[in-house]
Amino acid sequence: MTDQPLLEAHQITKQYATVRAVDALSFSLMPGQIVALLGPNGAGKTSTVRMLIGLTRPDSGHIVYRGLRGESDRVSAAELGYLPEERGLYVDQPALAQILYFARLRGIDGRAARAAAMDWLARFDLTTRANEKVSALSKGNQQKIQLISALLHRPRCVILDEPFSGFDPINQELTLNLLRELRDAGVGIVLSAHQMALVERLADRVVLLNHGAEAMSGTLAELRQQAGLARKLTLAFAAPVDAAQLAHLPSVVAVERLADDQVGLLLDERADLNALLAAIGAGAALCSVQSEAIGLHEIYLRAVGGTPAATPHPVTDSATQELPA
């Protein structure tokens, strides 16, 4: 990694009629770094991405790319790779033809583009389908074509809106490894995704957005600290328990009733596990205890208010907890 950021957003704000889509958002992207933008629908992710790729201009604030600032300092198309959230493909055209077209628009000459395209298609196991129309491909394969189009010209900075969309677990792993490779090669990546488990494994930094503004940002460890969450305990009891009573124990931030005899506890970083388990065991017979570090999922829900965990000592029913789409 070099010291100069690849991309910096300084207090960018975007207003659409009465809605403030992005509110004074700042973050930076270093070469060889992956920054994830997370947030519920309408949080301002797509508006932010649109400003980053230059489709719209911030109403206030500014974006700096490799030290260049201002509207006239357009990023060279060859340096930027972009994967839109929705399919941005000509469905009536052959897959290879449009990969080559997008590569030409990014400044790659025909022969080099063809060679690179064939390599990418082989990597995604699509060589035999290169000349098929996009409409004949499955959603996942269309996403692969889109991903190839965004990466074929070897950009320095890649902005990916929902890169895992439409992929099965195997292809999600493939994409995950691919993005890691790019990062290791010094490419800076901004991604917006809903697959928390994948983002957790991939992102170096996370920016959590809510109502257009930054709710939290940092590494996963920093986010845990900011959220005041450290661990999650999953407890199984010999008999049904009153989950609400557990909410008043020290260091318990939230309680989740998983079943009549199963409870999940979210603990802050000061939690003394021995003392806590002793206190719980004194009130009810424990069958099993499972402890794990807090994940992005819980932090996300807490940050965007998707669960009563945002209020002190809440109790929730696991069946009601769904990640916003």
Partner 1 sequence: MSNFALLWTVARWEFMRYFKWKQELLMFGILILFYLLLGFGQAALTFAKQQQEHQVEVLDLAELPLIYGADGQLKLSRIDAGEEAWSREKVGLGTIDALLIVRSRDQVELIAHSEPRFLEQLQTVLNTARRDAFLADASITPAQFKDWSSKVELTLSFHEAGEKPSTTSEKILVYVLLVMLLSAVMTSFAYFFVSITSEKQARVAEQIVSAIPTQVWIDGKILGISGHGVKSVLYLLLVSGLVLAALERFAPEVLAQAGAIAPDRIVVGLAFVLLGILFWSAFMAGFAATIDDPNNSARSTVMFIPILPVMLAFFTVDLPELGVVTFLSWFPLTSMTFMPLRYALLDVPWWEAAGSFALLGAATWAMRFYAGRIFRAGMFMYGKEPSLRDMLRWLGTKETRAL
Where on the chain is the footprint of partner 1 (CB under 8 A)?
50-58, 63, 65, 68, 71-75, 77-78, 80, 82, 84, 86-93, 101-102, 104-107, 149
Q: 88 or 305, CB closer to partner 1? A: 88
CA 129 – CA 97 distance, rounded (Å): 12
In degrees, rounded to 5, the angle at the alpha carbon of residue 230 between the alpha carbons of residues 229 and 235 is: 100
- Residue 293's alpha-carbon distances to 34, 81, 231, 232, in angstroms, are 22, 34, 4, 6
CA-CA-CA-CA torsion sign (318, 319, 324, 325): positive
- Residue 99's alpha-carbon distances to 140, 148, 182, 188, 189, in angstroms, are 16, 7, 19, 22, 20
* Rounded least distance, CB 148 to partner 1, Å: 12
Q: 136 or 289, CB closer to partner 1? A: 136
Q: 16 or 260, CB closer to partner 1? A: 16
Q: Say if CB 58 and CB 14 are below 8 A apart.
A: yes
Q: 50 or 232, CB closer to partner 1? A: 50
* Rounded least distance, CB 33 to partner 1, Å: 18
* Rounded least distance, CB 74 to partner 1, Å: 5
* Rounded least distance, CB 154 to partner 1, Å: 14
Q: 105 or 275, CB closer to partner 1? A: 105
CA 109 – CA 100 distance, rounded (Å): 9
* Rounded least distance, CB 172 to partner 1, Å: 22
Q: Say if CB 83 and CB 165 are below 8 A apart.
A: no
The SS3 assignment for 261 reads coil
* Rounded least distance, CB 96 to partner 1, Å: 13
CA 150 – CA 175 distance, rounded (Å): 13
Q: 3 or 109, CB closer to partner 1? A: 109
Strand order in the sheet with 213-218: 80-83, 157-161, 188-192, 34-38, 205-210, 213-218
Q: Which amino acid is at 207?
A: V
* Rounded least distance, CB 28 to partner 1, Å: 14
Q: 54 or 295, CB closer to partner 1? A: 54
